[in-house]
Amino acid sequence: MKIKTIFCISIFLCNIAVLSSCYQGLPKDKTQVKGEELIIEEKKMEAPLTHKYDVDADITVSRALAAKMIALTYNDFGDIKTMDREIKYKDVNPKDWYDMYINVVSIQGFMNGSGDTFNPLEPLTYSQAQTILERLGKGKYNVKMNLSKEKQKQHISYKEWVNIYLKLMDKLAEEKGIEKTYGIREASLIVIATPANNTEVEAWNMGTDKGIYSFFGLPMDAYIDKQIRVLVKDKEVFGFIKIENEEPTITNCYIPDSVKDEITIFVGGVHRTYHTQKDFSAEKGKIADIKINLGNILSLESFDEELRGKVLRAESNKIELEGRGYIPLGNDYKLYNISGDKTGWGSLSSLTIGEDIARFILKDGKVCAALIEKKPEPKNIRVALNKTGFTGLIHKEAIVTSDEEFMVYIGEEEKLYNAGDGFNINDVSRNLSDSVPRVRIKTKSGRGKLKVLSITRNGENPRYRGTLDIMKLDGGYSIVNELPIEEYLYAVIPSEMPSSYGIEPAKVQAVTARSYAYVQFLANRFYTYGGNVDDSVQCQVYNNIPENDISIQAVKDTTNEGITHKGNVVNANFFSTSCGYTANSGEVWADYSDRSFPSYTPPYLISKKQFDGENFGDLTKEENIKRFIKSKDIDAYDKDFGWFRWNVSMDLEELSASINANIKQRYQANPKLIKLLDENNIFRSRPVENIGQLKKIDILKRGQGGNITEMVLIGSKATVKVLTEYNVRFLLQPKQYIKGKDHIVTNLYNGTKMADYDIMPSAFFIIESKEDSKGNLTGYTFYGGGNGHGAGMSQNGVKGMVDKGYKYKEILKHYYPETEVNKIY
């Protein structure tokens, strides 16, 4: 006899707690299961729920698989991987695929084990499912299953679990929907390769026609060469729905090799060789659609129509080629990089703006694939210009003039403007279209400068070498300045280092700026605006202060030179002022990929002494760093600059206000780096918005150079551990947050006073308590040195080294050990 199962989701107000009495009867608004079909009825709903999946899968819902779905619903995959491990179940090992998911759901209270076991691979029972759904409902939607004792112990089917789970998620998401709220969406994927048939993919990963996806806990080997419908979040398969096609067609794949009876394709980041009954050897190097079945090619159609040209802009549905305007991208377009020894899977950012490096293959008038055949050559650079105040890259207007005659080009039309005339983009915007999407402006001689009257920098309208392109985008215009990289550096150097320092420091800055520009040019982050880089601190500041004779000469004296380590151009970090020591980069920044801290320090970004004479011992020890910071007669390279030593005093009320104004933001930026002391006296990554009144600051750890890496803030409501120098500096801002109180003043070594500074100048500081007449703590005085993060090169230190007779290559070798200064293009 079939047992009927009834699920009930009762709708209550958010602030009503979950009470056992709620489960005694069914209210009018109810959820029922009739056989396999789940129906939700709610009088207040304006539109019916849309999430009903025709799940067709014989998959066991293990407790581990349920944990994965819940963890992915409420967390990004990156956060899941990097969350501190807190679980201690005997049957869950850090090497297990499910370890990270069980850790998350245990920490967040959605699931728990029994004693010291979790039983991860046991099938999920109806009773356990009800408990999980109740916790997910959070009192807003109370879930009850009217189950017999026998049914409670039975295993819930995968189809039932997926549908009831997503129905509840849909209710919790309300009008926003599951995709916008939780990032979970449907996707159709053709499985090309798994570790079962390919060594290019790692464990629990698969190569598909859409790229590499992970599928922890799901049986995907059985779906190789099939088109499947799945639920995904980011690049992780959240759940399986069904097989869509047993003989799918892989569209727009690249054929790197072909012989008489075999074809090797590359798609989604993996290679795969298929058998064929026909001779397709002539298809090598082409883009094709292939229909497959269990390792065999059933049919093949290749495409020969192509375009070439310089890419001027790219966005999700179209690219702009010079002289052709916008070309639409097909819905399933793919990008391949075949410029090196290995074929690569590309993205739009791979199409370097301003470069002619790719062939664009057409199908039905749209780009179905791009083949990048050449490496970009950084001769010119395209700079997206910010509005006045560096407040964004979309301009409401663009007005340009010049001190000499200049030309304006709109498609094939051109117009000559006299010196001093003004060109306003709004006067011609109606003439712009997909075939003519931009206006290009340059001086008639090609050697003059263009002035942008709609932008102000330091109280003046900036003037630019090269050309200006103005493109009409949603909400306004993008303005891009194209010019040779060497000339671009003319106006970077004075914006980053004072020209009053002289030619040798400018040469140092030229080499570091060139190295940085090279790396940013290849990153091509601003392709949607038509640029390789922008002109702000997101890349490096350009033309905020105009070029001058010193900056021009510095660039010419170091033409094409950059900093390399083992043949690779390095991202040369620098900062304002050293305290006398620099920091290990791994003791400044968390790891980019897994967010761990401290992280790896490359040999060219290590802590180094920045003065002549004997050192002060181990600066991780408080007594040594205190003696060092309090010393002012050190013959340091930065000693003549105000930020070399500084101090600031704040009372506990002011410090509390600063901490509480910023701690939520810092936790959200990286939860691993702000940890809350729990009831077991263990620091764990937990949300925190307010620590109450600050009672004490403890310095826990310092880096090799003396910079603070870990600090504890003890408050009346919470105690938190703070990691990384930036978090330390940001939370202890010497800035007045209390209305009516005087400015907080930071005193510099040279007598300068800075009011309400936005961040503690550096993490190279010590603290001294301030007490009242009864010995009660009232605040702290911070004694510190330097300004900035402290890793890499001190710009003011460069000036000090030059004054001691050092030359630019010697200075670069000092700040970046184990590097060379070489021609990089």
Joined together, the tokens standing for residue 377 give 């050559």
Q: Which residues of 31-61 are buried (b: 16+ CB within 10 A; e: fewer)?
A: bbbeeeebebebeeeeeeeebebebebebeb
Question: In the numeric block, which tokens belong to residue 577?
Answer: 């002022």
Q: What is the per-residue pLDDT for 139?
A: 72
Domain end call among 506, 541, 569: 569
Give the pTM. 0.86
- For residues 208 and 192, the answer to whether their CB atoms sit within 8 Å is yes
Task: Report yes or no on 141 lying in a domain.
Answer: yes
Residues 663, 775: one domain? Answer: yes
Going from the C-alpha of 487 to that of each of 380, 445, 538, 561, 796, the distances in angstroms are 9, 16, 20, 14, 24
The dihedral through the CA atoms of 681, 683, 686, 689 has a sign that is positive
- The residues, any chain, with a CB within 8 Å of residue 384's CB and separated by 6 or more, are 393, 478, 479, 480, 526, 529, 530, 531, 533, 534, 535
Which of 540, 569, 598 is at the close of a domain?
569
Sign of CA dihedral 560, 566, 571, 573: negative
Would you state the structure tokens that stand for residue 674, as one six-digit string? Answer: 């702000």
Q: Total structural domains in the chain? A: 4
Averaged pLDDT, groups of 10, the chain, 825 residues long: 42 31 31 33 32 82 98 90 92 98 95 96 95 85 75 92 91 88 95 97 98 97 97 95 98 96 97 96 96 97 97 97 96 96 95 98 98 96 98 98 98 96 97 95 97 97 98 96 98 95 98 97 97 96 98 98 97 95 98 88 98 93 97 94 98 98 95 91 92 98 98 98 98 98 97 98 98 96 98 98 98 98 96
Residue 86, domain member (yes or no): yes
582, 472: one domain: no
> Does 679 share its domain with 706?
yes
- Amino acid letter for position 695: K
Distance CA 794, CA 638 (A): 8
For 239, half-sphere exposure in the C-beta direction (CA atoms, 13 angstrom radius) is 28
Does 401 share its domain with 481?
yes
Map tokens 């690049």 to a residue.
Answer: 235
Length of the chain: 825
Distance of alpha carbon 782 from alpha carbon 765, whole angstroms: 6
d(CA 237, CA 69): 10
Close Cβ partners of 805 (under 8 Å, ≥ 6 residues apart): none
- Residues 110 and 72: their CA atoms lie apart, in Å, by 12
Does residue 208 form part of some domain? no
Residues 318, 326 contacting (CB under 8 angstroms): yes
Residues 552 and 421 in one domain: yes
Do 392 and 331 belong to one domain?
no
Question: For the CA atoms of 514, 518, 520, 522, what is the dihedral angle to 10 degrees?
Answer: 170
- Closest residue by Cα to residue 622 from 734, 516, 697, 518: 697
- What is the SS3 assignment for 705-746? CCCEEEEEEEECCCEEEEECHHHHHHHCCCCCCCCCCCCCEE
The Cβ of residue 539 has, within 10 Å, a number of other Cβ atoms equal to 23
In a domain, 268, yes or no: no
Cβ atoms of 250 and 265 closer than 8 Å: yes
Closest CA to 344 of 304, 372, 383: 372
Residue whose token pair is 């003989």:
247
Asked if residues 166 and 242 have their Cβ atoms less than 8 Å apart, the reply is no
Number of Cβ atoms within 10 Å of the Cβ of 82: 19
CA separation for the pair 285, 254 (Å, rounded): 7
Instruction: Give the Cα separation of 455 and 689 in Å (integer).
Output: 39
R_g of the chain, CA atoms, integer Å: 31
Distance CA 39, CA 595 (A): 43
In a domain, 488, yes or no: yes
Q: What is the pLDDT of residue 24?
A: 29
b/e per residue 561-570 (b: at least 16 CB within 10 A): bbbbbeeebb
Same domain, 605 and 514: no
Phi, psi of 423 (to 5 degrees): -110, 130
Instruction: Give the type of residue at 233.
Output: K
pLDDT for 53: 73
Q: Crossing angle for the helix pair 158-173 and 63-74, nearest 10 degrees?
A: 20
Separation between Cα atoms, residue 387 and residue 452, nearest integer Å = 11
Q: With the C-alpha atoms ordered 585, 588, 72, 175, is the resulting torsion angle positive or negative?
A: negative
Chosen domain end from 534, 569, 604: 569
Tell whether 578 and 562 lie within a shared domain. no
C-alpha atoms less than 13 angstroms from C-alpha of 185 in its C-beta half-sphere? 9
Strand order in the sheet with 399-402: 423-424, 399-402, 450-452, 463-464
The Cα 228–Cα 57 span in angstroms is: 11
> In the block, which residue shows the tokens 């194209």?
482
Angle of CA points 669, 674, 678, to nearest 5°: 140
411 and 317 inside one domain: no
| Strand duo 325-337 + 366-372: pairing | parallel
CA distances, 176 to each of 45, 134, 183, 696 (Å): 13, 22, 11, 43
Query: Quick check: is 274 in a domain?
Result: no
| Predicted local confidence at residue 52, as pLDDT | 62
Candidates 98, 141, 172; CA nearest to 12 is: 141
Q: Is residue 751 part of a domain?
A: yes
Residue in 734, 729, 761 with CA at minimum distance from that of residue 745: 734
Do residues 145 and 168 lie in contact, with contact meaning Cβ atoms separated by under 8 Å? Answer: no
Examine residue 318 and state whether it is found in any structural domain, yes or no. yes
pLDDT at 175: 82
CB 563 within 8 A of CB 569: yes
692: containing domain = 574-791
Cis peptide before 598 (omega within 30 of 0): yes
Same domain, 356 and 384: no
Neighbours of 740 (CB within 10 A): 5
Cα distances (Å, whole numbers) of residue 210 to 115, 191, 252, 518: 42, 9, 11, 30
Residues 537 and 619 in one domain: no
248: which residues sit within 8 A by CB, 6+ positions away? 190, 225, 226, 227, 291, 292
Amino acid at 140: K
Q: Are residues 668 and 559 located together in one domain of the fold?
A: no
CB burial of residue 186 (10 Å; 0-12, 13-18, 19+): middle
